């Protein structure tokens, strides 16, 4: 009986030792699982953040590719695409497409005397003014430097564009407050209307430029209409 009791006691001790060893292994396994889970969660979080950063970068890159970074207006690339789009959609619909090319008079002197920062502020003011003068269906762009353009689609052309040009010239002839300085500029505008939507964006932009230069040679602060015929 003593031998039996001793054998039973040893068996119980072995069983307890094996149980404790199993518990230790389970805890170690749980710890490893937690560590790996934490690492996976950290990797997933980092991956999600990287995907978000790349998406934001792609959106920003796309925006910068089609917009002027200073004024937020459409740039030349987007404006030409918009013109071509409307020319294609309005072809045969008796819906004339018009482009106004706008060049600021006296901008260079402001830039030279007050500095580029003041010049940038002035361009932002001009961009806001142009937005105020167009409808939600029009497109306004900064083509570069102090040159802007407006795309307008409508039946009442060229009278509608002439009236718009007069309003813009009147607004831009008023003094602008830039900090402690009051500056005066103006605008020369070239207008081209394609009643049949048979041309392309390059033709319309070049034609608007030619009309705008004629307006400058005519004394500035006025507009001229280019005849496509």
**Catalytic site positions:** 146
Tell me if 101 sits within 8 A of 149, measured CB to CB: yes
Query: For residues 148 and 160, is the Cβ–Cβ distance under 8 A?
Result: no
- 187 vs 68, 147, 182, CA distance in Å? 20, 10, 17
User: Per DSSP, what are the bridge partners of residue 140?
Assistant: 150
How far is the C-alpha of 208 from the C-alpha of 80, rounded, in Å? 13
The answer to whether the beta carbons of residues 203 and 212 sit under 8 Å apart is: no
Query: Residue written as tokens 């009791």?
Result: 5
- Cα angle 46, 64, 71; round to 5: 125
């Amino acid at each position: 009986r003593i031998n039996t009791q001793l054998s039973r006691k040893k068996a119980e001790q072995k069983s307890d030792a094996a149980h404790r060893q199993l518990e230790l292994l389970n805890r170690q396994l749980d710890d490893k699982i937690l560590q790996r889970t934490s690492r996976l969660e950290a990797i997933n979080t980092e991956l999600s953040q990287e995907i978000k950063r790349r998406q934001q970068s792609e959106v920003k890159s796309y925006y910068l590719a089609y917009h002027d970074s200073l004024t937020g207006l459409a740039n030349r690339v987007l404006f030409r695409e918009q013109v071509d789009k409307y020319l294609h959609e309005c072809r045969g619909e008796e819906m004339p497409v018009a482009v106004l090319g706008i060049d600021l008079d006296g901008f260079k002197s402001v830039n030279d005397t007050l500095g580029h920062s003041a010049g940038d502020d002035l361009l932002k003011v001009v961009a806001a003014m142009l937005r105020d003068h167009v409808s939600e269906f029009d497109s306004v762009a900064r083509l570069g430097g102090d040159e802007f353009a407006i795309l307008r689609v409508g039946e009442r052309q060229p009278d509608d564009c002439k009236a718009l040009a007069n309003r813009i010239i009147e607004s831009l002839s008023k003094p602008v407050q830039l900090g402690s300085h009051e500056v005066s500029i103006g605008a020369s505008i070239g207008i081209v209307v394609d009643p049949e939507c048979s041309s392309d964006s390059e033709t319309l932009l070049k034609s608007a430029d030619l009309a705008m230069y004629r307006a400058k040679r005519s004394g500035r602060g006025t507009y001229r209409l280019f005849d496509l015929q």
